[in-house]
Structure 1
Amino acid sequence: MDNNIIVNESCKTLRALGRESLQNRWGFAALGTLLYMILILVPVLVLDLLFGPEDGSGSGISAIYSLLVTGPMSLGYAMFGISLFRKRETSVAEVFYGFEKFGKALGLYIVMSIFIFLWTLLLIIPGIIAAYRYSLCFFILADNPNIGIMDAIRESKRMMRGNKWKMFCLMLSFIGWGILCIFTLGIGTLWLSPYMQVSVVAFYDIARGSLRARRIDDGFYKAPEIQPTEDPITVYKEEAEGENKEDNNEFKKDDNEFKEDNNES
């Protein structure tokens, strides 16, 4: 059984990482979320209005529509959240990019739903645990478009081993903001949803080993210029490795110059 990384960062730190990634991009993130919600919700409401029974129970056509688009849109929104958190150049249209992998995104959504449903047949709590077990699947697929459906599910299970409670606590920590959104008639969700999404991406990047916290009091990455009272600063491994390579190159350069001076003397 492969070892996995346990996410020890506090929910406060994960949320802080999310907020930092959204600096000067809150409006952009809200616009992308609006497009996502429009495609998910508006057609369902229209189809229910046109074809649904009079008792308002919903139509089969809207259920089929939801089945077809939820997977690709979940993948697209995962891609959008990853781009926001990693501060890549992107556009709000990225929420639709999941349709480029329509078959795989649809298949992943169906398989996940079946697994969660089967666990729910036992009891509600096993179903909730299963939902958290598979919660990273679309982020994994977004990072690895060629990965197989079952491979994405197995990878999510591996990464979430020992991390499900942390993810639950992270989601629970947004409950206050969710209550405030009720008083805004749901409009606040346009900002809360991307905030939650990028915070989950922070969790995901730490769990996959590509992100770590710079702290003065541990051995992850000791930065002398950071004081213990300051908030953690994150750094991607490749960036840290690049810094180390630059330091090594400088050391080699100085060493060569020292040898040349000795030869001349």
Structure 2
Amino acid sequence: MNIGTIKREAKASLKNRWGLAILLTVVTYGVYTLLPIPFEIVASGGYDNWMKDESDSASWISTAFAIVFSPLLMANYWAFLGLARGESVQLGHLFKTFQDFGLYVKSLGIYVLMTLYVMLWSLLLLIPGIIKALAYSQTYYICKDNPTYSMNQAITESRRLMNGYKGQYFLLLLSFLGWFLLSIITLGIGFLWSIPYLSASLARFYENLLNERSSHAE
């Protein structure tokens, strides 16, 4: 699997759709970064205390928001997978996981399970935790293609698919380091392009992974 090819395919999938990709990214991660702030300020006892990061309540609120709105992450993964496949994608697709209670609970449960598993492995050492995070990285995509899978079935299938490919996935992530450094230098503005580019590349990685697994099975 060639990283350069994956990134070229990702760029091709974003052609004439950059505006939508940026909007999907802003809405998804804006909810995580901006929505909890008013509640954190109140819990901290005021803006000054919140800026000093002196309140444990504020951190608990951030954690609670991250869990409650975690289904938005899965919907974001699905949207970029749709872009990678040339499907019709709209901003409203981000809220698909909130329109079906069963799907909302399932996506929330997957987020909690993956986080818990990675944390438990990280108790051994940091490296095992990172390896498991890489192994679970395809879970959201698998749920899209296999809606009848249970939470643990999807996680297990991700581990199977990623067997032998975790190093390439890590290198793909690492290849965006320069983009993210540039985004920081531009006071964060560059993230409007680098994060959608990364999301599209991860979706293309999944597509190529399926193709390679299929070809090896023949």
- The two structures have a TM-score, normalised by structure 2, of 0.88
Displacement over 4 Å in runs of 4+: none
**Structure 1 gap ranges (5+):** 1-8, 213-219, 221-265
| 1:149 and 2:141 are equivalent in the alignment | no
- The secondary structure found in structure 1 opposite 2:16 is coil
Distance in 2 separating the partners of 1:205 and 1:28: 21
Distance in 2 separating the partners of 1:98 and 1:169: 30
Which string of whole-angstrom CA distances, capped at 9 and with x for unpartnered residues, describes residues 58-97 of structure 1?
A: 2423321211112x01111011111111111111121222
Partner of 1:88: 87
Alignment of 1:7-156 (within 5 A): 9-52=1-44, 54=49, 55-56=52-53, 57=55, 58-70=58-70, 72-99=71-98, 100=100, 101-156=103-158
- Does the CA-based 8 Å contact 2:161-2:213 persist in structure 1? no
Q: Which moved more, 1:100-109 or 1:200-209?
A: 200-209
- Over aligned residues, Cα RMSD in angstroms? 1.8
Change in 2 beyond 3 A, CA 1:121/1:73: same
The answer to which structure has the higher helix fraction is 2
Partner of 2:198: 196
How many pairs were matched up?
204
Alignment of 1:155-166 (within 5 A): 155-166=157-168
Change in 2 beyond 3 A, CA 1:37/1:129: same
Distance in 2 separating the partners of 1:30 and 1:36: 10
CA displacement at 1:137 relative to structure 2 = 0.6
**Letter in structure 2 aligned against 1:96:** F
Distance in 1 separating the partners of 2:156 and 2:174: 25
Higher relative contact order (CA 8 A, sep 6+): 2
- The secondary structure found in structure 1 opposite 2:182 is helix
Distance in 2 separating the partners of 1:16 and 1:154: 29
Which string of whole-angstrom CA distances, capped at 9 and with x for unpartnered residues, describes residues 38-64 of structure 1?
A: 212111222211213624142423321
Distance in 1 separating the partners of 2:109 and 2:170: 25
**Letter in structure 1 aligned against 2:13:** S
**Letter in structure 2 aligned against 1:49:** I
**Letter in structure 2 aligned against 1:46:** P
- The two structures have a TM-score, normalised by structure 1, of 0.73
Distance in 2 separating the partners of 1:141 and 1:181: 31
Q: Which moved more, 1:52-61 or 1:91-100?
A: 52-61
- Does the CA-based 8 Å contact 1:76-1:94 persist in structure 2? yes
**Letter in structure 2 aligned against 1:158:** R
Distance in 2 separating the partners of 1:210 and 1:143: 16
**Letter in structure 2 aligned against 1:189:** F
